[in-house]
Structure 1
Amino acid sequence: MGAALAYLAELEAHNDRAWFAETKAERAGALAAFDVLVADVQQRVGAFDPAVLGHDPKKLTFKLTRDTRFSNDKSPYNPSLRAHVGPAGKLPVPVGYYLMVRPGGRSFLGGGLFAAMFKDATDRVRRAIAADGDAWERVVEGLAPLQVEGEALKRVPQGFDAAHPQAGWLKFKSWYLELPVPDEDVAAPGFAEAAAREFERMKPLNDFLNRALEGFEMPAR
């Protein structure tokens, strides 16, 4: 992935359509290398989480182009390679394993629920935490030194007990893990194997969330 990291660094420095068009061959090489990495990671993750198998790995990746309609940043491209290896492919629910490659030490491995905009999903997870706080705490403690992060409200939402032992977690709107990965590790030959090991550590969080999210349906687009 060394050449892919180099391409992404150049894309960040020349984030315009003319340069993008002129570097088609370099882009194709970076995308092909990432496809190979994602396919390798998918198979390794499938050994401990078979639900992620059965999807074309090329359909687990996200495009470089950005939707700039509602953004002040009009840069046309996202200088990172991203994929979500999950039971429903790259859809965020059921939750799976997120991989982002970006130069400058900004790559990371992720797990959990990143999508705070789905109110029904958030409500389901809150209810699961409120119903079995001990199970939730066991998951969180077992993830150490990884820490569950997420967007959070200032107050416990209506319908939940502000004095609940897990009140702090009930404020959250998303619950996820992010493990930064330095460039040298991304470029190393054993990166797929190392990534799968870290994803296996994240699996208990995904398992708890996916049990809570059973029956959730993604909103129609």
Structure 2
Amino acid sequence: MTYDKIFTYLSALEENNNREWFHETKQERIEIIQEFNQIVDSFSKILHERDSQIPLIPAKNLTFKFNRDTRFSYDKSPYNPVLRAHIGPNGKLPIPCGYFIFLKPNNQSFLGGGLFADMFSEATKLIRQALIEHETAFFDIIENSEFKKQFIVLGKQLKRMPRGYEAFADSSIADYLKYKNMYLEFPLTDQEILTSKDFAAEAVEKFLLMKDFNHFLNSSLKDFRFPDRRI
């Protein structure tokens, strides 16, 4: 079974998180990546058919590598024992928002949507402005009964109202203006994935419940431009 094979490898990587073991298992890793790419391609194809914002992009341009950036981390483990992909309007770039697949053993997998990145102040500003101008539309999305059964809005949230937004402190939108980013997660157990008769189809149905939320954020982020990091 594809997912059983994936989880077995990821569990072994977590226990043997070192460069020697990683290179010794190169062939097994290649097979796992190929399996995951097939999964992502199947997700991408269905989402493309049902969400007008999602183009057909090869899985190799949607997935993330195992390597970790350990420069500023206390954890010096060189690899992430997880398989990840972001199926978005612009591939795996975090903006515009898309659909996030996160596979990790021991019941740590999830399906995600929205904006996970919290380091782009301009994106935060644009979303806050959209919340102020389109408050009713936003609440129509997150108060929808089917949406509420599955999700709550998550993200990095300030304890106080952000500077410049104090006038909205008593508004119904106040708590959401405190968010620096906004995302959704649908947690998955290993058993749910391993015993599913058609996990791709089931997962896409969860993703499509996130669609209006993604579209709201993407509409507010249409003028966003990534910072120029060239020196």
Q: Which residue number in structure 2 is paired with residue 172 of structure 1?
A: 179
Q: Does 1:211 align with 2:180?
A: no
Q: Does 1:149 align with 2:157?
A: no
Q: Which residue number in structure 1 is paired with residue 170 of structure 2?
A: 163
Whether the aligned pair in 2 keeps the contact of 1:108 and 1:180 (CA below 8 Å) is yes
Whether the aligned pair in 1 keeps the contact of 2:131 and 2:177 (CA below 8 Å) is yes
* 1:50 alignment partner, SS class: coil
Identity in percent: 43
* 1:99 alignment partner, SS class: strand
**Residues in 1 aligned to 2:46 and 2:153: alpha-carbon distance in whole angstroms:** 23
Cα separation, partners in 2 of 1:185 and 1:29, compared to 1, 3 Å: farther
How far did residue 194 of structure 1 move?
A: 1.0
Unaligned runs of at least 5 residues, structure 2: none
What code does the residue aligned with 1:150 have? G
Q: Which residue number in structure 1 is paired with residue 132 of structure 2?
A: 130
* 2:96 alignment partner, SS class: coil
Q: Which residue number in structure 2 is paired with residue 185 of structure 1?
A: 192
What code does the residue aligned with 1:171 have? K
What code does the residue aligned with 1:164 have? S
Which of 78, 98, 101 is 2:100 aligned to? 98
Q: Could you list the structure 1 runs, at least 4 aligned residues long, displaced by more than 6 angstroms after superposition.
A: none
- TM-score, normalised relative to structure 2: 0.93
How far did residue 159 of structure 1 move?
A: 1.7
**Residues in 1 aligned to 2:208 and 2:62: alpha-carbon distance in whole angstroms:** 18
Unaligned runs of at least 5 residues, structure 1: none
Whether the aligned pair in 2 keeps the contact of 1:16 and 1:75 (CA below 8 Å) is yes
**Residues in 2 aligned to 1:213 and 1:79: alpha-carbon distance in whole angstroms:** 32
Q: Which residue number in structure 2 is paired with residue 140 of structure 1?
A: 142
How far did residue 54 of structure 1 move?
A: 3.0
* 2:148 alignment partner, SS class: coil
**Residues in 1 aligned to 2:206 and 2:118: alpha-carbon distance in whole angstroms:** 23
Aligned residues: 221
Q: Which residue number in structure 1 is paired with residue 68 of structure 2?
A: 66
What code does the residue aligned with 2:78 have? P
* 1:128 alignment partner, SS class: helix
Q: Which residue number in structure 2 is paired with residue 4 of structure 1?
A: 6
